[in-house]
Structure formats: structure tokens, C-alpha cells
Amino acid sequence: MTASLTEPLTLLLVEDDDGDAFLVEELLKEAEAPPRIIWVRSLRETRPRLTGAIQCVLVDLTLPDASGLEALREVLRLAPHAAVLVLTGLRDAHVGVAAVQAGAQDYLVKQDIDARLLARAIRYAMERKRADLAQLRLVEAELIAKENARLERGLLPVALLRGDRVEQSTRYLPGNQGTLLGGDFLDTVQTPDGAINVVIGDVCGHGPDEAALGVAMRIAWRTLVLAGHNGERLLHTLDALLRAERKAPEIFTTLCTATITPDLRHARMRVVGHPPPLLVRDGVVDVVDGTPSGPPLGIFSDAAWKVIDVPLGAEWSIMLYTDGLIEAARGGHDRPLGVEGLVELVREHGSIDLDRLIEHVGTTDDDLALLLVRGRGA
């Protein structure tokens, strides 16, 4: 019966006995696709031959310059990509078992070898090696994914708020599956004077580069706010950072910032090419008038952004969001929700409920970020 070794391959035979080597070569000639055999007689001759071209190694454990499992360990170290079969004598079968435990795919007793057994053992060894390598890649991918998730979690913001006069809620849904961060970013910082500063932004595009840029923008905004900067000076600094860090000149960023006065009765906003914030003030739902303040960052080097003064009243809620919310189709509809649809939806609910808003819009491939701040004026 013809041996069923059907894949052409390059095989390294490590055997110091001429008779045993001749036997292996003759048996493999009967395979459907006889392999190219490179024959070496010692561990010293083996080392320079263990290149990426070698797909399978047959190694005798009794070599003139190696004893026991020494030759096997060296082969496994130098050729982790290759399938390895160990050749043993009848009295050394127990050594073959130890060799498999050490990393070989299989072992063969020389006295039992025939063409069919040898071809099948090589084929099965190569399949097991492929499975082992696939499993190793899977484990490595899982470890990398866990490390990336830990890194991303560490880059998510923690609001800097004091006291209980202001409540904040956020939702963040990256468009790319399997990630925690997208190009959207948000943050909240209360400065020593008691003012509440919030930001939400959207780096155009999707992917890890945009996510990294979004993190850089958020951290820069937080640093500038804590250093006492605000207004156009802050925006021009962010614009300079964006131009320095972006991968291509066409990448821009929209954002919305708000500074709420310490008495929680008034807000100063700048809407930088971004969707207008939603405001619930004394039970009335509307969008902030006078938006936008000016163009997105990264487009015009001499841009200016006007201030939007917003009286807040006694009891209020402000929701900042990215366009992933209003460009998503509302559940059961093909058309995007839009700003008007968002206002209508909030009016139907009677209040801003972030989870309900997300539930009522359809799935989206875009990043989606929501930031809701509630407060009562002093």
C-alpha cells in the first residue's frame, strides 16, 4: 500500500547510523510525494541546518555528541516551527515517552517502522505541530487583548468632582468591536474655585490612531484646565497639539466645552464644530442656542470661537454627546435620529435617561459618547 504522505516537504534526518538512515530514506521514497531529505550525523552538523525551510525533523536520541534528551532540546530550541519525531530503539521506548513530554510531537521505534507507519507518523506530527502553534497564537492573542484592555481601562477618565451638588453620568460605546476606546473622548474637572468644567470631543475617523489621539486630547484638556487655562487660549493649545500629533493633515476634531460657575446658575460654552448640547432647564427641553461657536480644531489656524452664555436656572441638566448618537437610525426607522429627533425623544421620556436613549437608537459603527451633568443652582 502506498504511503499517504501527500504534502511535499523538507525533512531533516539526524541519525549517525548509516543503515538506519538508509532505511528511513528508502521508506520515504514510497510516499506519494517523497520529501527532500537532508541527512546529518551529529548535533554539531544539525545546528546550521535548522532553518525555516525545515518542516519536520527526525532525530535519533543516541548521537556521538549528544546523549539522552540533549539533542531533542536543542532541536526544539532552534526550530520551534518544525514538527519533531524522535527515533528510539526497542529498549529505549520509555525515553520516547519522555521525549513527547519534553515537546516532541511523537516517537518511533526503529524496529517497528514501515513505509505506511512512517508516512502517517510524519503527517500526524505535522498536524499536531500546526495545532500546537495555532493554540500558542491564540493564547498569545488573548494575553495581548487582556493587556490592551488593561491599558485602555487605565486611559478612561475618572471625573474630578467634589461634593454632591452635581451629578454626572457617562456612557461610552466604541464603534470597533473588542475595544474599550475609540476616537471620542470626554472628561469632567472641578477646579479649586468650585467651577465645573466638562468636555466631549470626537476625532474624525476610526481605529487605534484616532483612539490614541483622542486620549492625548483629553489628557491635554484636563492638564490645561487644572493649570487654570480656559477659553480660546485652551482651544488654540489643543489645536496645536492636534496638528502635532495627527497622522494626516485632513484629521480634525470637534468638541464642546462648558464651564459651569461655582453657584451652578450659569454656564459658558464653546461648541467647536460639534453637535449642540441638550439642555433641560426647569423642566423645559431644548438645544443650546447660538451653536456652533466656530469651526472644528485642525482646519483653520486663525479660527476664533465665540462664547455661548447659558443661564441654567434653579434645576437643570446638560447633555453633551457625539454624532454617533444623532447619526444612528432610531429603532425601527432607516433615517438618522438627528438633533430634532433627539429633542423629541427626551420630551417623550420627560427627562434625560442615557440608557434609554441608547436603547432607542439603532446600532451604529460610529463611536458614541454621552456626558450628562445635573445640578441645582445655589
User: Cα–Cα distance between 266 and 129 in angstroms, integer?
Assistant: 68
- The three three-digit cell numbers of residue 336, written as one number: 438618522
User: Cα–Cα distance between 186 and 227 in angstroms, integer?
Assistant: 18
97, 82, 151, 119: which is closest to 4 by C-alpha? 119
Please name each of the domains of the chain with its CATH number.
10-139 (3.40.50.2300), 157-376 (3.60.40.10)
Q: Which helix (H) or strand (E) holds 212?
A: helix 208-226
Q: Which of 2-6, 47-51, 208-212, 344-348 is least confident?
A: 2-6
Please state, rounded to an integer, the average pLDDT across all residues of the chain: 86
Strands 83-88 and 56-60: parallel
Count CA within 13 A, CB hemisphere, residue 274. 30
User: Cα–Cα distance between 322 and 174 in angstroms, integer?
Assistant: 11
Note whether 181 and 152 are within 8 A (CB).
yes
Q: What is the mean pLDDT of residues 112-134?
A: 89
Which position has the higher pLDDT, 92 or 64? 64
Q: DSSP of 227-273, one letter per residue?
A: TT--HHHHHHHHHHHHHHH-SSTT--EEEEEEEE-TTSSEEEEEEES
pLDDT beyond 60 at 287 = yes
Instruction: Name the β-bridge partners of 356.
Output: none
Neighbours of 101 (CB within 10 A): 9
pLDDT beyond 50 at 53 = yes
Which residues, including other chains, have CB under 8 Å from residue 68's CB and lie 6 or more apart? 61, 95
The 3-state DSSP class for residue 132 equals helix
| pLDDT over 70 percentage in the chain | 88
Strands 56-60 and 10-14: parallel
Which position has the higher pLDDT, 254 or 174? 254
pLDDT digits (tens, 9 = 90+) for 150-187: 555 556 778 888 888 899 999 888 876 555 677 899 99
pLDDT beyond 50 at 4 = no
**What global pTM score does this model have?**
0.64
pLDDT digits (tens, 9 = 90+) for 124-139: 999 999 988 888 888 7
SS3 content of the chain, % helix, strand, coil (to 5): 35, 25, 35
- The three three-digit cell numbers of residue 152, written as one number: 485602555
Q: Which of 68-77, 115-124, 151-160 is least confident?
A: 151-160
User: Cα–Cα distance between 195 and 237 in angstroms, integer?
Assistant: 21
Which residues, including other chains, have CB under 8 Å from residue 294's CB and lie 6 or more apart? 270, 272, 273, 303, 304, 305, 306
363, 263, 348: which is closest to 314 by C-alpha? 263
Q: What is the mean pLDDT of residues 360-366?
A: 68
Neighbours of 158 (CB within 10 A): 7
Q: Alpha-carbon dihedral of residues 58, 64, 69, 74, nearest 10 degrees? A: -70
